[in-house]
Structure 1
């Protein structure tokens, strides 16, 4: 398991983010500090309006911090970059492209030749269990299959970091559990640094090395909780007393601040 005391892959240092709402300043984030180690899986939970997505957008280079800095590999984040794959709750697939062409898209933009594009796309399509649907259009896929396609597309460009904003939030419970297990299996094999936003406390504990609990008004880190559960995370782990104890601790931190 990754250790946060090692050199940080992601470092958030005194980040503040404000927005102007009419004639009033709204503070979305206030003095946020967080280090995430290489290959660490961190989940982020907290009440609505606590700035979870704003923090991820800053790390993804989609928004700028008002003060402080966000660093990746020791370099200031100044915009999107290929080392950071971003996956949102909305699948954002091109409806006119097949699964294979969607997964190849980022590689094509990067100038990868057709043969290598196809080989790499097929590897990740098979990895997420969509081999039989490589030539299907998104309209032929279920919600879970679309999200698996989005994950394969993110992995295909070989990012060292995955930023995931409630990617399973709109899925049914069974599909969600299956994708959680599949994501962890992929993470164990491929190894990436993952920051995963969720509103689901069970999901947060099941996936993570550490759970970051945020508080609102203004958005800030309330508590960071280590998850000392073994990988691979199985249904047996999910039903264990240790899991229940951690879940209750995170739940209390989120809803009884």
Structure 2
């Protein structure tokens, strides 16, 4: 496999008025392979979201660099789709128009936009709501729409910052399975930020555990469970063992 995203000794500090600079990330080096699904988990303040924002080009590192396909990230790019916990849908646009939006900006013809949008709307199970406005959708449906919109512009990378964090437990599990189904078909490179240890293990081929103060890489746990992941797998001794390993790494941090 080839490296898709590479964090190379990334450091990020933030200036706080009247206080010493806060170090959000210190010396983060991590390679994410093409087509890999990794999750990033860790305590509050460990730099999970900061790392993703740097990969997205939404903020720049204080030192070090992130590359995509060997090219330094200098800002946002169409090869990187970003999905946040907040749905960020346009409330005045229907589901279909929300999904078409990026395609319209990219100059795709109307008929092509509709065909692509409908494909991904169907893939996330929203075909019956294509003409609905966001206010008519549940939280889980809004997030499905956001995922369809991200996929529609054909990014090679999906950067997801706690996208299911605000959802109820049942909806969250359903969207985890749906995301893995889409990933298995499309095989995009996914960097998925979460605070939920079970979610981290269930989704990923590798779990990246971060430690805080300063934010840094603490441990990488390989998840040697086959895809597709199933409900039975969640209840297996193998899953429980991996979950416990990640839990201990997250909640029993070592001194810096």
Q: Are residues 1:9 and 2:23 paired?
A: no
What is aligned with 1:62?
58
What is aligned with 1:222?
218
- 1:70-89 equivalences in 2 (<5 Å): 70-89=66-85
Counterpart of 1:90 in 2: which secondary structure?
Answer: coil
Counterpart of 1:21 in 2: which secondary structure?
Answer: coil
| Partner deviation per Cα, 1:183-242 (whole Å, 9 max, x = no partner) | 000000111000000000000000000000000000000000000001100001111000
TM-superposed deviation, 1:22: 1.4
Displaced runs of 4 or more, over 6 A: none
The gaps in structure 1 that reach 5 residues or longer are 1-5
TM-superposed deviation, 1:7: 2.1
- 1:90-239 equivalences in 2 (<5 Å): 90-239=86-235
What is aligned with 1:51?
47
Counterpart of 1:185 in 2: which secondary structure?
Answer: helix
Number of aligned residues: 252
Root-mean-square deviation (CA), in Å?
A: 0.5
Q: C-alpha separation between the residues in 1 aligned to 2:55 and 2:224?
A: 26
Q: C-alpha separation between the residues in 1 aligned to 2:81 and 2:87?
A: 13
Q: C-alpha separation between the residues in 1 aligned to 2:92 and 2:27?
A: 43
Q: C-alpha separation between the residues in 2 aligned to 1:253 and 1:76?
A: 31
What TM-score, normalized to structure 1?
A: 0.97
Q: C-alpha separation between the residues in 1 aligned to 2:2 and 2:103?
A: 29
What is aligned with 1:3?
none
TM-superposed deviation, 1:72: 0.3
The gaps in structure 2 that reach 5 residues or longer are none
| Partner deviation per Cα, 1:15-58 (whole Å, 9 max, x = no partner) | 00000011411100000000000000000000000000000000
Match of 2:15 among 12, 20, 45: 20
| Partner deviation per Cα, 1:54-90 (whole Å, 9 max, x = no partner) | 0000000000000000000100000000000000000
What TM-score, normalized to structure 2?
A: 0.98
Q: C-alpha separation between the residues in 2 aligned to 1:50 and 1:229?
A: 27
